[in-house]
Structure 1
């Protein structure tokens, strides 16, 4: 049945007519070395030896070659070729300036003493060296370039290389591209620095490397308005089980401002790959990933991705994230917002990215944090990858261009010389200042990673490539390394049935180590750089801290291009699963919820105050608070964490990172990070615990979508009890609810200076628990202004930790903060204690 559907779909695609709406103003199609015309995909290529076009040739010594024994299935266009024993060129009159497509057809054969497979030549288009020392292989090869032509004459030069080299070409196409085919604004440059706008894209020379019809069949030039070939994506899929094809029989809704048929044909937008949730653990998140081979070594490419929502029943249901080379390229992509709010309306997004050393560009799509349980999905309809060429060869640059290049070179040389001299003077000044000033303490993101190489890092280790961190303890990180073979054994070779979760870093498996200790094994995508900084940060932070309310790191592995973190297994999983979205877990009581919030607050308070600069978590949310078998809260996932400001600083200036719905708005606006950013996120968690709903739910009415804004409105009206979890109705003492609501409200203050410290938050939550458990409904007024100093007695410092100036608890060998908070805070909350 599935085969019949596929056959019908292929027939439908083949029956889609090629639109004739686009007619290029400049349109040169040459059958090279021929006196006759040749047809290919219903297009007529004129023989370049005819009187009609022979004037295009500017070389007298080129040779027309004919294959006397062509293969029976080889199109006539490839039966002839023009050979250049010496430099020769074609010249075309350009009637319309702007972006043009230039295509070269190569199919080597033997004739008249020439073996075209032995050719060695370079090709220049408008002075740009697009092919260097080119040696065509067997079969038909098409080379396509996209570039802007701003003169009335376009010259294409074929230049033999080496003593016995010669050039050849079987056919050529030169035609005007559609308006706005490549635009100068909106492209997103993606890399370790984040995402920034890439400008002046149309001035680049682009060479097409891949053109992919994702989820569909091959599309030939006959069914493309720009006569392009789109190939299926199956061979590029990294994990085929992660994707399943999606198809539509409806013609795409092309809208003004979106993609056009010239950007990609109907058939590309009528097919896609979507997440195959049928083969995944229910509720798990994962990415669909493609690897495309390209030129290695950091070569810059344009990545054009095509989207058309053919999988959603309604608008604003599909939210997903896009990654390129493991870096976030587009977060929370909502196709509805990019179109005129019509389903199945095609759009495309341009990205610019560099290839890695192994010559791969990796593209991934996966569900967004905004995805509801019903709408968790991600799609991709098409992909194009084009290398940025733009190499100018001075030997063929016209005189005026050459003059400007010379002037530019001289000017540039003078500027560089001045810069070098300035740098030298500044260096001398800085050296003098350094002798007087004590160097600043290095932060988590400011130094290079070296410990693993010193302490036995493998030759395949990528730890030295990213940001580096403070030096390890006396044993380095070597004692935490776990062999890859042991991790394979612990997870039954990463058995999919053992998957217990997933995230931006990768899948999480339940495993059993050699000593029968249960562990959570978080595996980054093999071979990917995605998550490398997070991987390093987790090891650095968790290797030096131990606290009852922080998840412990058991070890890590970085063999075989793997990035694997092994944690203590926290039996009951994320807090989020116990609040909503699962019928498996019984509803938490109010006392349990308060104790969980108190535990998480203790862990955060320790992070903020347990070190000289403190540590800011940066990604506090209900999925990063785990519960053990006794419902003890443990803060997890320190991949985005970083050290706090120095003593003489008020904040850390850094790029914005975090999760939508939990992100501190002041941090987002000013990009200035403080521990109060964690306090804001924790305030969202408090309301999430109380109301048992997500921080963001796009399926609700507009005023209810953002939990923090919605709950604050009810809190300020004094009607918080109207929006609490129905399971808690009538089960919370009014005084306890009031104190809890006030605490959450203070955490969500617009400005960080108005928010309490985590110590004060912890004090207030303990007080809310005391009120809930007390016999009296109301307690006398109290003053919490001194809570910060008092709460420090619960801070525990691990033996061997750098923070030796902090107080340690006596007779506590395991390094955990096990003091009962109720023992401490009961003294504060009663009048006799004060």
Structure 2
């Protein structure tokens, strides 16, 4: 029997592998099955074997044979979808593997209706020994699911497990060897310089495979039987892009791509930035894709410079969401000065926090370069999570035992997990309560983090006088008190650049010449310990070009001192009004808003949990020597809700005029509270006036209310900063106003995410800068959608005053000039 099966498998493999010799790659394993069919099915040069032959690879749970799997016929004209195999019990295909390594698994589903079965009603799981491919899966339209797994044994089993009172089905399937070099072990890592290692052991599901600027490339025309679809349906702002085709120009060279990575029909076409011979064009070309939150994704860019007439003429930037992954990208430097050579770059994202991924290309900022950018192909692949799952719902089930045993195991595991969760919950609440009590005791008196007024044990510098224990875990950031004294000329009062509720802010310079801003806590302030610790904990975790950097802290000699990078141009607020600075141009204001939005977007999405800033305002947006914006002041920040929660319940803190009314009413904090505050900042940037000004007529006191009334009238231009009148293109102003309006929706669910706000601000900048034939149609890419913002009506807030409420005073400062201020924490009696 074993010899006959081996002979059968050898015959199948040899017959099915023959057509692929012409492709340049011969798969060692090549199983193609037309499930339910009694005859072979030919698609191009590939032959799918009849189901009665494949049945030798199929085993059913228990000894049930008659009703475990059935062949059903459809009237559909597509060859692979005319028949189907139905599974009413746990069943699996087991494929002998002749060469270990990466393999495709492709599953074909078409939910037609049969007299006995309605395939759209099926619900089931599909798994291998190590990975869940599909969990609680149901099909409503024709779909092909493609997976890539690394097989490390001599067989590969694909198990179909119907849900309770349901069934499973499949119309066709493939298990085919893939060249190992198709997925290298390493890739770049978004927002990191360290890179990602370990791709070899990952399982992948194909999310998108795009042929930029070209037509569909079918499996018959691809070296590895892949299908590439046109990018047009995923392209945002189609008038921003144009297509180019020069397939014969493509070259494959050492150090570049190969035909197995992608065929020349992919590299020979591209989508190109439509700069229309305008050397001042400044916009990005963007594509958007649906993804499942919680997973990391491998994003593969395919490049081939088929547009340049000579080397070193094409420089551009490449983005994943708001993160730049290639700056001033020049293909010539990677490909040994060969024009039109195929090349690809891989990047791994962090865990997705939304259901969208955007990929963009845009012009370089290198002086003298023409604004241009291209992309030839794109692949996005979901990576398995820590449970080995690609579905996010299930765990690997390798058991083929009966349903009763499975139920018993599930009940046992569930009970054990429930007890463990209960115990963990009790311990968590106990520890949390102890931490809260400890903080409350500490906050009543000004107690430093170090004990006995000595020096922290972490530096071992020439300033050390002794060794003590610090309550701060971020010890790498500790700076000796003597070093801080030297940096600030012994806290010279003439070096003060600002005063806030936390204390004074001094300009300083470290021994190595680094300019710093030193925030020294005031022992008389009611603010202090909690915010001091929060600021350190938050900023020591994050590194982002649009978040101000923490350089160090000092907790010696009853001091609480925070040391930051120095921001030469102070606060955004200081450049808008009250400080005598030259007026910012509209482009500068947009770029500042975009930078701040990038920083907030990173806070909301760039970490395991969202971080909510909770005090977004123009005084907490700082500008460096190049007017690049950085978000500052994390003393009030909170980590966001757990995955199974919608909000964080907390006492209200923030600043008058910027405060989210929903957060105020309900004391429920979400990322959308930051979005609301940022919407106020947008109107503040546009109108260049304080958000609360009691000296104005009553209807003008609250900027958000006043600006929203004019926005709803469609007459926002009536209230803008006079210095901007005549300098803003109408489409740019309209897009900006719509974005701010939607940020100020009364309910958080109606507000956009910071990612959407960022995209719309970038588009407002494009509308201001770009000159495209027929002008840009702003309505074509209104990414936030038709939301229903409402005026911030404070008269509707809690009239009882029973809510716990702390806000900043209207005037954040104590009369000191803000021209060079770094940051401030507002007065204790306000917050």
Tell me which residue corresponds to 1:454: 659
Tell me which residue corresponds to 1:378: 373
Q: 1:328-354 CA deviation, whole Å, 9 max, x = no partner? A: 333222222332321212222223346
Q: Once the 2 structures are TM-superposed, how far is the Cα of residue 274 of structure 1 from its aligned partner?
A: 0.8
TM-score w.r.t. length of structure 2 = 0.52
Tell me which residue corresponds to 1:65: 71
Tell me which residue corresponds to 1:41: 44
Q: 1:172-202 CA deviation, whole Å, 9 max, x = no partner? A: 1112221232233223235xxx776333233
1:54 aligns with 2:56: yes
Say what the alpha-carbon RMSD is for the aligned residues. 5.1
The alpha-carbon distance between structure 1 residues 499 and 142, as it changes in their structure 2 partners (threshold 3 A), is farther
Aligned mates of 2:736, 2:91 — CA distance in 1? 66
Q: Once the 2 structures are TM-superposed, how far is the Cα of residue 384 of structure 1 from its aligned partner?
A: 1.6
Q: 1:748-800 CA deviation, whole Å, 9 max, x = no partner? A: xxxxxxxxxxxxxxxxxxxxxxxxxxxxxxxxxxxxxxxxxxxxxxxxxxxxx
Q: Once the 2 structures are TM-superposed, how far is the Cα of residue 531 of structure 1 from its aligned partner?
A: 9.0
Instruction: List aligned pairs for 1:389-400, cutoff 5 A.
Output: 389=384, 390-391=388-389, 393-396=395-398
1:159 aligns with one of 158, 161, 175: 161
Instruction: List aligned pairs for 1:452-531, cutoff 5 A.
Output: 454=659, 462=672, 464-465=674-675, 478=704, 481-482=707-708, 485=711, 509=729, 529=754
2:214 aligns with one of 201, 216, 219: 216
Contact 1:613-1:644 within 8 A present in 2 as well: no
Q: Once the 2 structures are TM-superposed, how far is the Cα of residue 456 of structure 1 from its aligned partner?
A: 5.5
Tell me the matched-pair count: 513
1:262 aligns with 2:260: yes
Contact 1:294-1:355 within 8 A present in 2 as well: no
SS in 1 for 2:265: helix
Q: Once the 2 structures are TM-superposed, how far is the Cα of residue 461 of structure 1 from its aligned partner?
A: 9.4
Q: 1:84-123 CA deviation, whole Å, 9 max, x = no partner? A: 1111011122233332210001123344622323322111
Tell me which residue corresponds to 1:74: 78
Contact 2:760-2:783 within 8 A present in 1 as well: no
Tell me which residue corresponds to 1:21: 24
The alpha-carbon distance between structure 1 residues 430 and 615, as it changes in their structure 2 partners (threshold 3 A), is farther
Q: Once the 2 structures are TM-superposed, how far is the Cα of residue 256 of structure 1 from its aligned partner?
A: 2.5
Q: 1:682-739 CA deviation, whole Å, 9 max, x = no partner? A: xxxxxxxxxxxxxxxxxxxxxxxxxxxxxxxxxxxxxxxxxxxxxxxxxxxxxxxxxx
SS in 1 for 2:200: helix
The alpha-carbon distance between structure 1 residues 394 and 214, as it changes in their structure 2 partners (threshold 3 A), is closer
SS in 1 for 2:248: coil
1:92 aligns with 2:107: no
Tell me which residue corresponds to 2:472: none
TM-score w.r.t. length of structure 1 = 0.52
Contact 2:295-2:382 within 8 A present in 1 as well: yes
Instruction: List aligned pairs for 1:418-433, cutoff 5 A.
Output: 432-433=441-442
1:369 aligns with 2:365: yes
Contact 1:106-1:141 within 8 A present in 2 as well: yes
Contact 2:314-2:330 within 8 A present in 1 as well: yes
Aligned mates of 2:44, 2:741 — CA distance in 1? 42
SS in 1 for 2:729: strand
SS in 2 for 1:350: strand
The alpha-carbon distance between structure 1 residues 473 and 346, as it changes in their structure 2 partners (threshold 3 A), is same
Q: 1:373-425 CA deviation, whole Å, 9 max, x = no partner? A: 4x3101111112222343262542699xx9xx99xx99x99999999999887
Instruction: List aligned pairs for 1:47-446, cutoff 5 A.
Output: 47-50=50-53, 54-59=56-61, 60-61=65-66, 62-67=68-73, 70-71=75-76, 73-75=77-79, 77-111=80-114, 113-138=116-141, 140-163=142-165, 165-190=166-191, 197-278=195-276, 283-295=280-292, 297-353=293-349, 359-370=355-366, 372-373=368-369, 375-389=370-384, 390-391=388-389, 393-396=395-398, 432-437=441-446, 438=523, 439=528, 444-446=632-634
Q: Once the 2 structures are TM-superposed, how far is the Cα of residue 206 of structure 1 from its aligned partner?
A: 1.7
Aligned mates of 1:613, 1:531 — CA distance in 2? 32
Q: Once the 2 structures are TM-superposed, how far is the Cα of residue 465 of structure 1 from its aligned partner?
A: 4.9
Q: Once the 2 structures are TM-superposed, how far is the Cα of residue 245 of structure 1 from its aligned partner?
A: 0.3
Tell me which residue corresponds to 2:587: none
The alpha-carbon distance between structure 1 residues 363 and 309, as it changes in their structure 2 partners (threshold 3 A), is same
Q: Once the 2 structures are TM-superposed, how far is the Cα of residue 37 of structure 1 from its aligned partner?
A: 1.9
Contact 1:483-1:559 within 8 A present in 2 as well: no
- Greater Rg by CA: 1
Contact 2:129-2:397 within 8 A present in 1 as well: no
SS in 2 for 1:117: helix
